[in-house]
Structure 1
Amino acid sequence: MAVRSGALVRRRQLARILRGLRQKAGMTIEDAAPKLDFSPSKLSRIENAHQGVDVHAVRTMMDVFGVGGDRWNAILDLTREASGKGWWRAYGLDDQGYVPLEAEASGVREYTVNYLPGLLQTADYARALFESSMHVGSRAVRENDVEVRMIRQDRLRDPENPLTLTAVIEESALRRVIGGPDVMCAQLAQVWEAAALETVTIQVLPPDACAHPSVTGAFIVLSFDGLGEPDIGYVEHPMGAVHIEKAEDVARGRVVFDRLRALALDPAESAALIERVAMEL
């Protein structure tokens, strides 16, 4: 089961705490770095989560910054968590992509246009999608990526660490046959079944919605309730992907998503449409 073990998000939390401790101690990076036997650039990388740090260095930092009491053990525990390896490492993924962020997220808001959300895909549909999109790598690499996608879905049914998915799906994505009629029929059946989960809300945006705030493309907003991390936006495009962290940009994404939900069919109407499209195949 895909448990929370996202080193990237934990590292971001730790970086923010360490930066705050330095500032509270009244030190600049240039003041603190020599006391820690760091270069200013190294300390800056640590405080911006661009470089990891071990418990020994964090102990020294807390000594220099005058930290004690109950916070000491909590910060060291967080340091150990930030140094841990996420489950995705076994599949050849590093900590800089989308999967580590989603692994620590509490909620996903996703708008899709041309295909169904990865968290709802069957293995056959995902495989066909990878093959049709000029997915880079061998068949073994594709199968590896399909397995990663299946593991991600475990959290939708995880009673201890659930992930909530709120998806707005263009109706055209339901009708685009990927992998052939049998694969698509099974895929729509899985989406319909997932819509009944407490953690999943699916709304279909019909073609008569006309122009709307996101006609330019799909996007995701990740939330991290309980971790103190701000929401993060994520957009994939043919040449790669980008994380969006600027607060006003992410806020705009949330507003656009809410508008899309208002234009879409409600969950019950959406489930009925999904079932109807499946029967037409």
Structure 2
Amino acid sequence: MIRRRVLARQLKLLREQSGLTLEQAAPQLDFSVSKLSRVENAQVMIDVHWVKSMLDIYDAGGTRWNELLDLAREAQQPGWWRAFGLGNNSYIAFETEASRVQIFTLGYVPGLMQTADYARALMRAVPVRRTEEQLDNEVAARMYRQQRLSSADNPLELVAVIDESVLHRPVGGPDELRKQLDHLIALTGLDTVTLHVLPTAVGAHAALASGFSILHFGELDEPDMAYIEHTVGALMIDKAGEVSRARLAFERVLSDALDPAESQALIRRLAGG
């Protein structure tokens, strides 16, 4: 999904640099103006042949030609998550392309830090119809995502702030909570993971209404996105002003949170270690 957005942005820039308006370019591509607009907003998939036509019309050559054709091919490749029965518009499609994720959770351990049993217990608690196979696939996909935290080739940096109440909620039962706390401690040993606990004693804070994530895309030069998951669905946010508000809220909860060493000590104490 992000590759498609990057491609769309580059094609729009090339059209503008060529001096063509949407109304001028669309007929030359045998597109309607609305279709070309949807292409440039990454609302529709675009194949390599269309990209070649655009590059011809926009008089783009040299290294740009090969770079954009390669990007078009990459954008068409099915994501790994499809093997688990998940759609292309899921959060996972965006996280897969991110280089860093900042996340704050109020009620549960972040998905990137969950044990399989903890994840399964959470999913069973949500009133969403799933077959056992679908449940197994979603848990497996969540575990697969976590591999990037320890990947040498394609690492994902995670900065997580979790509300202290999460450490006391026995998702899956007391034994599973203890295993989950031990897992959190183990994850803090990874160079890619920074974990903070927001103490209950802080009281009211900047993100009391909901948890959220902010995704950063590094070398892809794609603008940051925010993601909010709620009881009846989820929302991806890419409007600059709203993402900035999310970024400010994260900075504020981070400033209220315990530092990593203090957070780890609290988790160890609660885990009985």
With structure 1 as the length reference, what TM-score do the two structures score? Answer: 0.95
Q: How far is the alpha carbon of 1:136 from its aligned partner?
A: 2.4
Q: Give me the whole-angstrom Cα distance separating, in 2, the residues matched to 1:116 and 1:261.
A: 16
Tell me whether 1:52 sits opposite 2:45 in the alignment.
yes
Which residue is equivalent to 1:202? Answer: 195
Count of aligned residue pairs for this structure pair:
273
Q: Residues 135 and 142 of structure 1 are in contact (CA less than 8 Å); yes or no, is this contact kept in structure 2?
A: no
Q: Give me the whole-angstrom Cα distance separating, in 1, the residues matched to 2:129 and 2:103.
A: 24
Which residue is equivalent to 1:4? Answer: none
Structure 2 unaligned residues grouped into runs of 5+: none
Which residue is equivalent to 1:3? Answer: none
Structure 1 unaligned residues grouped into runs of 5+: 1-7
Q: How far is the alpha carbon of 1:134 from its aligned partner?
A: 2.1
Q: Residues 169 and 204 of structure 1 are in contact (CA less than 8 Å); yes or no, is this contact kept in structure 2?
A: yes
Which residue is equivalent to 1:95? Answer: 88
Which residue is equivalent to 2:20? Answer: 27
Q: Which amino acid aligns with 1:272?
A: A
Which residue is equivalent to 2:183? Answer: 190
Q: Give me the whole-angstrom Cα distance separating, in 2, the residues matched to 1:122 and 1:135.
A: 20
Q: Which amino acid aligns with 1:126?
A: A
Q: Give the secondary-structure state (helix, strand or coil) at the position aligned to 1:108.
A: strand
1:37-76 to structure 2, matched below 5 A, reads 37-76=30-69
Which residue is equivalent to 2:156? Answer: 163
Deviation string, structure 1 residues 76-95 (Cα, Å, up to 9, x no partner): 11111111111001111121
Which residue is equivalent to 2:214? Answer: 221
CA RMSD of aligned residues (A): 1.0
Tell me whether 1:138 sits opposite 2:131 in the alignment.
yes
Q: Which amino acid aligns with 2:23?
A: E
Which residue is equivalent to 1:118? Answer: 111
Q: How far is the alpha carbon of 1:242 from its aligned partner?
A: 0.6
Runs of 4 or more consecutive aligned structure 1 residues displaced over 6 Å after TM superposition:
none
Tell me whether 1:260 sits opposite 2:250 in the alignment.
no
Q: How far is the alpha carbon of 1:44 from its aligned partner?
A: 1.2
Q: Which amino acid aligns with 2:51?
A: V
Which residue is equivalent to 1:108? Answer: 101
Q: Which moved more, 1:10-19 or 1:61-70?
A: 61-70
Which residue is equivalent to 2:10? Answer: 17
Q: How far is the alpha carbon of 1:252 from its aligned partner?
A: 1.4
Q: How far is the alpha carbon of 1:279 from its aligned partner?
A: 1.4
